Structure 1
Amino acid sequence: MSLQDKLDAFKADFEAGKPPYNVPPSVIETMHRATAELKASGAAHKALKAGDKAPAFTLNDPDGNPVSSDDLLRKGPLVVTFYRGVWCPYCNMELQALQATLPDILRAGASLVAISPQVAANSRKSARQNAVTFPILSDAHNEVAAAFGLRFTMQDYLVELYKSLKNDLPAFNGDPSWTLPMPARYVIAPDGTIVYAEVNPDYTRRPDPSEMLPAIRKAAA
């Protein structure tokens, strides 16, 4: 089953309000509205694309160790995935799919890192819950996400919904800004050029990790 098939199956149960979710239709309508508005804003079209130069970054892993994109690129291609946080079930399923594909990524000579705005403790939780062995890096204030053109500010009504659901992003992220990255995945060649880019303002849509393997192999050649 592809990653998107798994996401679609979860979404169907979640939006149908099946236990244990029991989500009222008004919540689903608000989430749909927010996604539609983010799509209509054209924000995804402003994100970095294949052919662009990737910004260099250094971020800390959950143990406080700095991880540098320049250092990783000296070893070969770099796969970077941006996700929202451990509270997002779609993101967790994506991390699991990436972990399953990790042996193919490593065999192709590439490195893989995941980036989210959450604090180190929540990155550790992400790694533990999803049995992830690649680095999960903390992007305070979504600064690196902004450099890639992915950061957006949540609508006021969506902030209120999250608060009502006890989804306290300022606490998760150590940041009061209520910003998130659009989910995105990049393959960066050793010279810093982006050779694969997938950005979607709809957080329920994620490409299968296998789709980027040809770009990784080409960049490593």
Structure 2
Amino acid sequence: MSLKAQIDAYNVQKEAKLPADVLALMNTTNEELIAKHIRDNALQVGQKVENFSLVNHRGNILELAELLTKGPAIISFYRGGWCPYCNLELKALNDYLPQFSAHNARLIAVSPQLPDETLSTAQKNELKFDVLSDVSNTVANQFGLLFTLDERIQSLYTGFGIDFEHYYGDKSYKLPLPATYVINQESIITYAFISEDYTLRAEPEAVLNALQVENV
């Protein structure tokens, strides 16, 4: 089943479960964020990515430049382990690890979660790739993906029991847009999926196709 099909199925469940006014608020704030066109200022295909290093869920430091010595890198930016869309995406990417590895590509996921929460996300989803903590969104900002969650949604999520200070160590409510990149060994972006709509995510098959094109 494609990731889109899984997300569509989840959306049906969500619409059946949540009150109409809550769904309306989610849709309204989502449309308002889309209208800001944040992704237009994010890093795009053909641009170079500056080196960075972050701590993974095992407590080890990973450096992009080191990963690229062995092959291309796939970077998935996600909001957090509390986000059902993020979990669906991470698990879908995880299923494609053998195909990615066949192209010597290394997959990493990045969120502003604290290390303990990053570990929880990796364990909960049984992820076999590195999940990195971008505390304070330094790398997300470098990629031009950063936005502040609407105050109405902040209140809504708090009502759902999502404690941002617990997950991120602060209450800035700053998050990265969902984004997936393929970066070649020269640090150049060869594929980019960026969306202000948090319900849309890159298909693993599209990421794999980008790797195959690069190797032609």
With the shorter chain as reference, the TM-score category is over 0.9
Q: State the 1:214 CA deviation.
A: 2.7
Q: Hey, what does 1:10 align to over in structure 2?
A: 10
Paired with 1:170 and 1:11, the residues of 2 have a C-alpha distance of 27
In structure 1, runs of 5+ residues without a counterpart are: 18-22
Three-state SS of the structure 2 residue aligned to 1:16 is helix
Q: State the 1:94 CA deviation.
A: 0.5
Paired with 1:218 and 1:75, the residues of 2 have a C-alpha distance of 18
Q: Hey, what does 1:175 align to over in structure 2?
A: 170
Give the TM-score taking structure 2 as reference length: 0.96
Three-state SS of the structure 1 residue aligned to 2:96 is helix
Three-state SS of the structure 1 residue aligned to 2:50 is coil
Paired with 2:86 and 2:74, the residues of 1 have a C-alpha distance of 16
1:140 to 131, 135, 139: 135
Write out per-residue CA displacement over residues 38-67 of structure 1, whole angstroms, 9 at most, x where no aligned residue.
100011111111011112210001222100
Three-state SS of the structure 1 residue aligned to 2:47 is coil
Write out per-residue CA displacement over residues 152-194 of structure 1, whole angstroms, 9 at most, x where no aligned residue.
0111212111222221112111122111111000000000000
Q: State the 1:218 CA deviation.
A: 3.8
Report whether the alignment pairs 1:160 with 2:155.
yes
Contact 1:189 1:220 in 2 (8 A): no
Report whether the alignment pairs 1:199 with 2:194.
yes
Moved more, 123-132 or 85-94: 123-132
Q: State the 1:133 CA deviation.
A: 0.7
Paired with 2:38 and 2:91, the residues of 1 have a C-alpha distance of 27
1:34 to 29, 35, 44: 29
Kindly provide the amino acid, as one letter, of the partner of residue 161 in structure 1: L
Q: State the 1:204 CA deviation.
A: 0.9
Contact 1:153 1:179 in 2 (8 A): yes
Report whether the alignment pairs 1:96 with 2:91.
yes
Kindly provide the amino acid, as one letter, of the partner of residue 209 in structure 2: P
Q: Hey, what does 2:125 align to over in structure 1?
A: 130
Contact 2:179 2:202 in 1 (8 A): no
Paired with 1:62 and 1:33, the residues of 2 have a C-alpha distance of 35
Identity over aligned pairs, percent: 39
Contact 1:51 1:194 in 2 (8 A): yes
Contact 1:85 1:91 in 2 (8 A): yes
Task: Give the count of matched residue pairs.
Answer: 216
Q: Hey, what does 1:20 align to over in structure 2?
A: none
What RMSD, in angstroms, separates the aligned Cα atoms of the two structures?
Answer: 1.2
Write out per-residue CA displacement over residues 71-100 of structure 1, whole angstroms, 9 at most, x where no aligned residue.
001111000000011100111011111010
Give the TM-score taking structure 1 as reference length: 0.94
Paired with 1:143 and 1:35, the residues of 2 have a C-alpha distance of 24
Contact 2:57 2:122 in 1 (8 A): no
